[in-house]
Amino acid sequence: MNGVHDMGGMHGMGPIQHEKNEPVFHAAWEGRVYAINRAIGAWGKWNLDASRHEIERLPPADYLRMSYYEKWLAGRTELLVKHGLVTREEIESGKPAAGSAKATPALTLAGVTAALARGNYRRVDPKAKARFKAGQHVRALNLNPAGHTRLPRYARGKQGVIARHHGIFVFPDTNAHFLGEQPRHLYSVHFAARELWGATASPRDSVFIDMWESYLERL
């Protein structure tokens, strides 16, 4: 999806401020948002890619001013309302509507450890032969989808080299819109910095990007 959220490689955003000994959470509310995300995600009403896409739907001005966990909270709130788990009035009041049913939590304290141990992306048993192998030169397609994609804008149309084949994984571009997992091969692709950003980039720098097979073409 083309939008302000796809900030990789963009100029004018200022330097990255490295924080020495950065804590996991800068405030207690951030930890609560993380816990809420895991708890409501256990209902299985949406998937990781759908939650990412919901953040991409934030108004640009809100996206730029919000902190990381503010975006999480805003996106998950919209998903809760869209999937009928809570009403907007209940969100605003902080109280359940009169006569609303009380549901049993999908994730209890006893299940937290197991839930944290599970990864977000599932490796799928291979059923199709991989089109590419390590060392092959490829080009990322210049795609401009209206919906979710994990193909970063700065890499579209750029040439790279397959560094590694990860296996077959769920395809985010369809999974985000509940169009099926449509698993396909996933690769780590090596791009020289100068290929991505031109002659002013350092010749010593490079970027490795995980890319699904349908993002790539052979050179």
**For residue 150, what pLDDT is reported?**
96
Contact 219, 138 (CB under 8 A): yes
DSSP-derived secondary structure letter, 215: G
Instruction: Indicate the SS3 state at residue 113.
Output: helix
* Residue pLDDT, tens place only, 119-151: 666 667 667 899 999 999 999 999 998 899 999
Q: What's the pTM value of the predicted model, to 2 decimals? A: 0.88
Q: How far apart are CA 143 and CA 150, in angstroms?
A: 11
The answer to whether the Cα torsion of 4, 7, 9, 10 is positive or negative is positive
**For residue 126, what pLDDT is reported?**
64
Burial of 210 (0-12, 13-18, 19+ CB in 10 A): middle
At 101, list the tokens: 């049913």
Q: Give the domains, in start order, of the chain with CATH numbers.
A: 28-117 (1.10.472.20), 123-218 (2.30.30.50)
**For residue 12, what pLDDT is reported?**
82
pLDDT of 86 higher than 80: yes
pLDDT of 3 higher than 90: no
Burial of 200 (0-12, 13-18, 19+ CB in 10 A): exposed
Backbone angles phi, psi at 140, to 5 degrees: -75, 135
At 182, list the tokens: 């449509």
Nearest residue to 55 via CA among 34, 73, 79, 71: 71
The answer to whether the Cα torsion of 44, 49, 52, 58 is positive or negative is negative
Quick one: pLDDT band at residue 197, thresholds 50, 70, 90? very high
**For residue 123, what pLDDT is reported?**
66
* Residue pLDDT, tens place only, 166-192: 999 999 999 999 999 999 999 999 999
Contact 145, 177 (CB under 8 A): no
Q: Which runs of consecutive H residues, i.e. helices, occur in the chain?
A: 28-41, 48-56, 60-65, 68-82, 88-93, 112-117, 172-175, 193-197
Beta-sheet pairing, 206-212 with 159-169:
unpaired
Q: How far apart are CA 150 and CA 205, in angstroms?
A: 22
Q: How far apart are CA 159 and CA 196, in angstroms?
A: 8
**For residue 122, what pLDDT is reported?**
63
Contact 218, 131 (CB under 8 A): yes
**For residue 111, what pLDDT is reported?**
85
